[in-house]
């Protein structure tokens, strides 16, 4: 049961999350240690400032040297009323009183001041900020996190596209080979039909045989078009739908009714007739399989300014909600006998070849399913 939810993608994401969490934890600890070290450095500088007013000349030189060696931490020295007396490591372009006041407010919000006594009657405050190194270190884990997840997305996208490419090549190869294998016996059967027509064989039987052979020829033609870019021509959609509905009605149970509904008898769309008919056949065949020999299938056609919408709705078993996202995946099938390629192939034909869209509009277990096709209309 657990294996259904554990995939290589989830493992890859989990590894990325673990790496990011460890990096974030380590970087935060390092940042805290550096922040403590910088505060101790500021305290040391503050003690040096405090000693300047009450020590010997040599001590003053030493204290001044300590202060000057601070080249990374921004400091602002104020009196008890927070009037700015001195500053260190502040950008020279921001030395105006207004900008210094803004920086002082930022430093106040960042750290509490370090108070020093210059003399018995004079107290001062030291406000300090963060060095550039500490700032960069704070942002480092988040930058690393973004890079890591970007890397995961790129890897997953690449593997998915590679898998789809291999899958596409397999489909194309199988389709071309199927069309090739069907071609030889079909040519022979056509020849035999012509031969039998010259004999005393019953005409009706020959007509039915010819229909089936033409049907096989159509199937071979459909397979031969997979993998190549078919040419789209403006054709009457309603004629195609009626033809396919009539063909499938003859092969359906007597208790199943297939109807085509359209406000107009002619709706012109750009399509490849053989491949589009294959899609409708697949949808109708799936509906028939889900209806247990009883019910209704409605094919409803709607129009907008530049689109034609086709809804294929049945009153069958419906699709479970957890399977809705899987129905178009190759190999997925709820039937005991089935390759699970019909809907996947149909979506490819509509999406890639006809530049349209095929999806499940709605489905409810026990009440039926509606598939929707959207095509470009000839305008």
Report the distance separating Cα 97 and Cα 369, nearest Å.
Answer: 73
Please state the rounded mean pLDDT for residues 73-91: 80
Token pair of 293 as six digits: 């020999």
For β-strands 256-261 and 295-303, DSSP reports them as parallel
pLDDT at site 338: 53
Q: Quickly state the pLDDT bin for 1 (edges 50, 70, 90).
A: very low
Least confident of 1-10, 21-30, 87-96, 265-274: 1-10
Most confident of 82-96, 164-178, 296-310: 296-310
Q: Whole-angstrom Cα distance, residue 122 to residue 115?
A: 11
pLDDT score of 4: 44
pLDDT at 379: 61
Question: What is the per-residue burial (b if ≥16 Cβ within 10 Å, else e) of 83-98?
Answer: eeeebbebeeeeeeee
Distance CA 24, CA 364 (A): 46
Q: What is the pLDDT of residue 239?
A: 94
pLDDT at 293 over 60: yes
Q: What's the whole-number mean pLDDT along residues 339-366?
A: 85
Q: What is the pLDDT of residues 192-245, one digit of tens each?
A: 777 777 776 667 777 777 777 777 777 777 666 665 677 888 999 999 999 999
Tens of pLDDT, residues 149-205: 787 777 777 776 666 666 666 566 566 556 555 666 666 777 777 777 777 666 777
DSSP letters spanning 195-250: HHHTTT--HHHHHHHHHHHHHHHHHHHHHHHTTS-PPPEEEEHHHHHHHHHHHHHH
Task: Indicate if the pLDDT at residue 69 is higher than 80.
Answer: no
Residue 5 has what pLDDT?
42
Which DSSP letter does residue 92 get? Answer: G
Please identify which residue in the block is written with the tokens 């210094």.
100
Task: Report the distance separating Cα 31 and Cα 34, nearest Å.
Answer: 5
* DSSP secondary structure, 93-140, as one string: GG-SHHHHHHHHHHHHHHSPPEEEESSSS-EEEEEE---HHHHHHHHH
pLDDT: which is higher, 12 or 57: 12
Mean pLDDT (whole number) for 335-341:
57
CA distance 274 to 50: 92
Per the structure block, which two tokens stand in for 41? 């450095």
- Under the banding of pLDDT at 50, 70 and 90, the label for residue 115 is confident
Question: What is the C-alpha separation between 78 and 113, in angstroms, rounded?
Answer: 10
Q: Quote the pLDDT of residue 373.
A: 96
113-136 mean pLDDT: 77
């Amino acid at each position: 049961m657990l294996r259904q939810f554990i995939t290589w993608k989830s493992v890859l994401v989990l590894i990325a999350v673990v790496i990011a969490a460890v990096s974030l934890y380590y970087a935060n600890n390092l940042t805290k240690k550096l922040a403590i070290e910088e505060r101790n450095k500021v305290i040391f500088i503050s003690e040096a400032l405090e000693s300047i007013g009450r020590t010997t000349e040599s001590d003053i030189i030493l204290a001044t040297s300590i202060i000057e060696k601070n080249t990374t931490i921004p400091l602002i020295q104020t009196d008890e009323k927070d009037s700015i007396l001195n500053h260190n490591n502040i950008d020279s372009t921001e030395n105006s009183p207004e900008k210094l006041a803004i920086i002082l407010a930022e430093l106040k919000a960042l750290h509490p001041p370090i108070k020093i006594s210059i003399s018995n009657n004079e107290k001062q405050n030291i406000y300090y900020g963060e060095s550039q190194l500490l700032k960069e270190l704070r942002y480092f884990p988040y930058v690393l996190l973004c890079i890591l997840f970007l890397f995961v997305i790129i890897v997953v996208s690449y593997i998915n596209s590679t898998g789809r490419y291999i899958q596409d090549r397999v489909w194309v190869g199988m389709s071309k080979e199927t069309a090739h294998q069907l071609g030889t016996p079909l040519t022979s059967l056509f020849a035999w039909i012509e031969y039998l027509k010259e004999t005393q064989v019953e005409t009706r039987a020959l007509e039915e045989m010819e229909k089936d052979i033409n049907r096989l020829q159509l199937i071979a033609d459909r397979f031969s078009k997979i993998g190549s870019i078919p040419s789209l021509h403006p054709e009457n959609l309603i004629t195609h739908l009626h033809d396919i509905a009539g063909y499938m009605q003859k092969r359906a149970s007597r208790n199943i009714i297939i109807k085509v509904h359209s406000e107009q008898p002619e709706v012109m769309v750009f399509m490849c007739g053989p491949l589009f008919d294959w899609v409708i056949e697949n949808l109708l065949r799936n509906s028939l399989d889900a209806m247990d020999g009883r019910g209704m299938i409605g094919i409803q056609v709607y129009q907008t300014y530049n689109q034609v919408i086709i809804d294929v709705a049945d009153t069958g078993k419906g699709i479970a909600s957890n399977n809705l996202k899987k129905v178009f995946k190759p190999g997925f099938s709820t039937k005991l006998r089935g390759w699970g390629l019909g809907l996947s192939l149909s979506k490819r034909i509509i999406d890639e070849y006809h530049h349209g869209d095929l999806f499940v509009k709605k489905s409810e277990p026990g009440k039926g399913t509606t598939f929707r096709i959207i095509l470009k209309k000839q305008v």
